[in-house]
Structure 1
């Protein structure tokens, strides 16, 4: 079965090194990758390697998004050395915007109330400066910066940050798997509060116990309710599928086909 009616309208997560290894699969099925720059990729991949991948995608007429690194990073760090290292690594990712011309760059807000809540004002000030600096880089190419939910338990910090950034290019990425596994609540706890900024959704499933990255329908997330809300509100965010196995990749495509997510757009 061909899924091009879906793959032409969404992105699929691929760590950069895996994308290099599986480029034949990507080209054969015309997958549009969300390229993860996690780990040591930004330090070990050469400019020539990045250029080869970008040119291969462009020549095939395939779009992409970039997912900036987030492991070990602290965009609102109170330690100036950790903050500088974080901004340096994130900056390397944003330096690739000109080469890849992505539809968006996804970043994690990285607010954790049990850590940062004790010095929320100082954290917010440092994080705001970080995102302002990166947003300025993205704005040079009119590429939106999507701030994704991870360990946040509600929309408050995203609303506060996006309001402060005050830019049409500063948007929200709703990760539905993180809503269930980390926030332990539902999409209704995030939307409609963040609907004015909604620019992207990450689709994967779990049963609320861990971030399993299953295909939609293999866990307990309320996809029909979310999709109905998006349709009713005429919201058309970018969509990225985030399966972590090839089996869940094909099951994710089958699920979107079965749910007819793109059928009426």
Structure 2
């Protein structure tokens, strides 16, 4: 299984050269979907899927998440969110995605009765998506300050749904640092204890704890050496996606993985063909967030 790199689909639509940079650099994409990209016609997505498939590159899909909360207490917003997620899963099927990523969005300060309601609304949508896409779904932590809600949801879905074996967890370590406010290596243990019973995918980026900065690996305060040592001690194999938000962060992560070859090998990372990946040129033309 390759190590992926995030690539918003709207970037490719706005600037098609992005697809060439990834294909020529031999970089496996995790396509990020949003409201704009799920509204694009199937024909566009099929063409893009064929381009990467013909190049022999695996891909994954990050389902829409901005403003997409299927547990929203407002029924109309929750219904729209479910429709967006279903559309995202349909597109994941078109891309032949190896997996999907979804954000369940549990706010840890919710009361117990709200947890019950959140679990109920979550059970109404997430089990559908692996069936639609024919691909596993990993549930990602975002603003959660504890791993418990995500772990309970994953266990519930595994136990109740026919798609249960296709449900796993995405541990976004950058969110653990910025939104959960964690930093010490020992603070990783409760999260790994909760998440390691499931198929586990990692989202890898860095920050200093003040914001979700999506810096390159080694440029912030996430204790990555400790993370991988703890995974190794648990004999836990994982898959991963790098999530740089600019070319400087991407270059930093490439450098960090080059300096940490055992970790790179465990993640299935293969260094891109740098001569085909002109980061300075990409930076001049990058589509701004």
The TM-score, its normalising length taken from structure 1, stands at 0.90
The residue that corresponds to 1:19 in the other structure is 12
Q: Which piece of structure 1 moves more, 109-118 or 184-193?
A: 109-118
The answer to whether the 8 A contact 1:76-1:128 is kept is no
CA distance in 2, matches of 1:107, 1:264: 24
Q: Which piece of structure 1 moves more, 117-126 or 215-224?
A: 117-126
The residue that corresponds to 1:197 in the other structure is 198
The residue that corresponds to 1:31 in the other structure is 27
The answer to whether the 8 A contact 1:78-1:126 is kept is no
The residue that corresponds to 2:81 in the other structure is 86
The residue that corresponds to 1:122 in the other structure is 117
The residue that corresponds to 2:272 in the other structure is none
The answer to whether the 8 A contact 1:37-1:66 is kept is yes
The residue that corresponds to 2:165 in the other structure is 168
Q: How does 1:245-256 map to 2 (within 5 A)?
A: 245-256=246-257
- Are positions 1:236 and 2:237 aligned together? yes
Unaligned runs of 5+ in 2: 159-163, 268-289
CA distance in 2, matches of 1:223, 1:210: 18
Instruction: Describe the SS at the equivalent of 1:247.
Output: helix
The answer to whether the 8 A contact 1:13-1:242 is kept is yes
The TM-score, its normalising length taken from structure 2, stands at 0.83
Instruction: Describe the SS at the equivalent of 1:33.
Output: strand
The residue that corresponds to 2:107 in the other structure is 112
> What displacement does 1:115 show?
4.9
Q: Which piece of structure 1 moves more, 127-136 or 103-112?
A: 127-136
The residue that corresponds to 1:46 in the other structure is 41
The residue that corresponds to 2:3 in the other structure is 10
Q: Residues 136 and 191 from structure 1, CA distance in 2 versus in 1: closer, same or farther, beyond 3 angstroms? A: same
> What are the Cα deviations for residues 127-149 of structure 1, in whole angstroms up to 9, with x where unaligned?
121212224324xx2x1100000
> What are the Cα deviations for residues 133-169 of structure 1, in whole angstroms up to 9, with x where unaligned?
224324xx2x110000000111110111011111221
The answer to whether the 8 A contact 1:151-1:182 is kept is yes
Instruction: Describe the SS at the equivalent of 1:95.
Output: helix
The answer to whether the 8 A contact 2:28-2:57 is kept is yes
Q: Residues 224 and 122 from structure 1, CA distance in 2 versus in 1: closer, same or farther, beyond 3 angstroms? A: same
CA distance in 2, matches of 1:235, 1:125: 30
Q: Which piece of structure 1 moves more, 54-63 or 152-161?
A: 152-161
The residue that corresponds to 2:264 in the other structure is 262
> What displacement does 1:183 show?
0.5
- Are positions 1:148 and 2:140 aligned together? yes
The residue that corresponds to 2:287 in the other structure is none
The answer to whether the 8 A contact 2:142-2:175 is kept is yes
The residue that corresponds to 2:282 in the other structure is none
CA distance in 2, matches of 1:224, 1:19: 33
Larger RCO of the pair (alpha carbons < 8 Å, separation 6+): 2
The residue that corresponds to 1:4 in the other structure is none
The answer to whether the 8 A contact 1:154-1:183 is kept is yes
CA distance in 1, matches of 2:79, 2:228: 40
The answer to whether the 8 A contact 1:176-1:201 is kept is yes
Q: How does 1:172-187 map to 2 (within 5 A)?
A: 172-185=169-182, 186-187=187-188
